[in-house]
């Protein structure tokens, strides 16, 4: 084999590894690699919704044990709103229905636009 054959082999290997790395980076960047539910189906934690505010900040609505929490994640993570009652009609796969104690409480539901506005107001307050 000549030097040109070795060079062509090495160039093809670098190209393929670069393509694999680029695809993995894009999958992570655009959220295609989601965490799978717990093997037993008893997942207690899940991301209901996420929103990119700017390149450094994301807003997450996280459900835990029938409650939802609004998180602003960026340079430092901040809990904005806690204890929001989760809607009973959309449980996660493997999650049982909300306990009776939670279901009978008056719902302090905030709509998605209200939560977004609260997160943006917090971010503006923090920047000034």
The pLDDT, as a whole number, for residue 94 is: 53
Kindly tell me the sign of the dihedral angle through the C-alpha atoms of 111, 58, 36, 24: positive
The pLDDT, as a whole number, for residue 18 is: 97
Higher pLDDT: 105 or 38? It is 38
The pLDDT, as a whole number, for residue 93 is: 56
Q: Which among 42, 65, 61 is positioned nearest to 114, based on CA atoms?
A: 61
Considering the chain, what is the average pLDDT of its residues?
75
Specify if 40 maps to a domain. no
Number of domains present in the structure of the chain: 2
The answer to whether residues 73 and 108 belong to one domain is yes
The answer to whether residues 63 and 93 belong to one domain is yes
The answer to whether residues 84 and 26 belong to one domain is no
The answer to whether residues 17 and 77 belong to one domain is no
* Average pLDDT score over residue span 74-89: 74
CA count, 13 A, side-chain hemisphere, 88: 12
The pLDDT, as a whole number, for residue 55 is: 84
Q: By residue range, what is the domain housing residue 14?
A: 1-33
The answer to whether residues 51 and 109 belong to one domain is yes
Specify if 38 maps to a domain. no
SS3 of the chain: helix, strand, coil, percent, to 5: 40, 25, 35
The answer to whether residues 56 and 118 belong to one domain is yes
The answer to whether residues 121 and 74 belong to one domain is yes
**Stated pTM of the model:** 0.42
Higher pLDDT: 27 or 120? It is 27
* Average pLDDT score over residue span 91-119: 55
Give 21-64 pLDDT, tens digit per residue.
999 988 888 777 665 544 455 677 888 888 888 888 888 888 88
In angstroms, the Cα distances linking 87 to 50, 57, 67, 105 are: 17, 26, 9, 12
The pLDDT, as a whole number, for residue 9 is: 95
Strand order in the sheet with 57-64: 45-54, 57-64, 67-73, 78-85
The answer to whether residues 122 and 78 belong to one domain is yes
Q: For residue 119, give both structure tokens.
A: 């997160």
């Amino acid at each position: 084999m000549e030097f040109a054959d070795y060079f062509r082999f090495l160039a093809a290997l670098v190209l393929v590894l670069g393509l694999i790395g680029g695809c993995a980076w894009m999958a992570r960047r655009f959220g295609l690699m989601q965490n799978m539910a717990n093997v037993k189906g008893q997942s207690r934690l899940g991301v209901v919704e996420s929103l990119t505010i700017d390149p450094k900040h994301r807003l997450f609505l996280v459900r835990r044990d029938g409650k939802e929490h609004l998180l602003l994640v960026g340079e430092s993570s901040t809990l904005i709103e806690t204890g929001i009652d989760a809607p009973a009609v959309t449980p996660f796969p493997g999650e049982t229905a909300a306990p009776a104690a939670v279901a009978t409480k008056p719902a302090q539901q905030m709509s998605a636009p209200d939560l977004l506005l609260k997160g943006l107001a917090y971010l503006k307050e923090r920047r000034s």
